[in-house]
Amino acid sequence: MSPSQIEIDTSRRFAELRRGVRGLCARFPGEYWRRLDGEREYPTEFVEAMTDAGFLGALIPEKYGGGGASVAEASVILEEVNRSGGNAGVCHAQMYVMGALVRHGSADQKERWLPALAEGKLRLQAFGVTEPTAGSDTTRIQTRAERDGDAYVITGQKIWTSRAEYSDLMLLLARTTPLEAVKRRTDGLSLFLVDLREADERALTIRPLETMINHHTTEIFFDGLRVPAENRIGEEGMGFRYILDGMNAERILIAAESIGDGGWFIERSVAYANERVVFDRPIGQNQGVQFPIAQAYANLRAADLMRWQAAELFDSGSPCGAEANMAKMLAADAAWEAANVCLQTHGGFGFAREHDVERKFREAKLYQIAPVSNNLVLSYLAQHVLGLPRSY
């Protein structure tokens, strides 16, 4: 069986969309991503091609020039990027970050920003939430936004804000009411759309962070940055609810990327196990090689089923918090299992950059940790689904 014949998709839908994404990705082979990874560069040509094809504007409503796609369709786009050997993480934020603008922005804000995003004149790929001292406890962020006439003055710091150097706009969460002054710790947080092109360089500093993967992440310092009040998304103090609203979509899209990674690893494992001959027989004839690949394949298929269930619930407007979180966790774990199997199958050649296994291996690990740790997913399920005491 050749790699192209391996069935991963459990929905058997969106065949035309898949062909379109695969055709685009074929223009950006492993050599392209390998060079960018080695040089720590941003894939400008790839992002432009995805934008021109309408893939990055898929979730923008058609009335604003977007594709009006479902989350299920959007998930296929990102899955196929990673399945091709690419890295959808370089541009996926534009899909799920803009959800806050689509669902909670004013009519004027949508008219101002969405058509330009759909057309590719603007990029919205940066999401400023995490802070060094707060970590996953978002309610304890310390970045402040204080009202001053027709603007807010932003002071504080963000970390792990990816692609800020390559984005025109940034979605920013900040405290407009101190934590000690609110009844519930989720109150008093507000969401802003920051135009990075107009930011005063003396009030905004972006510093790249070197990491084990080419993720273009940064830390950002705000020192009195003025943001027009008209750039606040929705009501003041309701920002935490707005970002929660978009997290289910984010989880589903991340799950799809992991499904794509897992498919790539399994296809490479099968191809190499069939081609590599040791002791006068292909190594894939050995059950010690077969079984781990087959187990990883079975687990990936199971995770994919949860991805589709979560996407269908989301697109129908039904509650899907548990399903979206489980999809992300199961897919991330399945992709990491497939990554380990692929590296083990390739042996020493898996460490050679020319095979792309070591690059994809590093990239696949991220989603067990971010944008939410799988341990926090388990805590969520324990408390909100199983009714166990809150553990944090």
Domains and CATH numbers, the chain: 3-119 (1.10.540.10), 124-236 (2.40.110.10), 241-385 (1.20.140.10)
Q: What's the pLDDT score for residue 246? A: 87
CA 227 remoteness from chain centre = 26
Q: What's the CA gap between 99 and 66, in Å, rounded? A: 12
Q: What's the pLDDT score for residue 2? A: 43
Q: What's the pLDDT score for residue 5? A: 57
Query: How far is residue 318 from each of residues 56, 73, 76, 323, measured CA to CA in Å?
Result: 25, 17, 20, 11
Q: What's the pLDDT score for residue 4? A: 54
- The residue type found at 81 is V
Q: What's the pLDDT score for residue 1? A: 40
Q: What's the pLDDT score for residue 333? A: 98
H/E segment holding residue 170:
strand 169-175
Establish how many alpha carbons lie within 13 A of residue 169's alpha carbon, considering only the half-sphere containing its beta carbon.
22
The CA-CA-CA angle for residues 77, 78, 83, to 5°, reads: 100
Q: What's the pLDDT score for residue 330? A: 98
DSSP 238: B
Q: What's the CA gap between 141 and 179, in Å, rounded? A: 9
Specify whether the CB–CB gap between 40 and 217 falls below 8 A.
Answer: no
- The residue type found at 353 is R
- Determine the number of helices (DSSP H) and then strands (DSSP E) in the chain: 11, 10
> Taking the chain (392 residues) in consecutive chunks of 10 residues, what is each chunk's mean pLDDT?
62 90 97 96 96 95 96 97 95 86 96 95 94 92 97 98 96 96 95 96 96 95 98 97 90 97 98 97 98 98 97 96 97 98 98 97 97 95 97 89
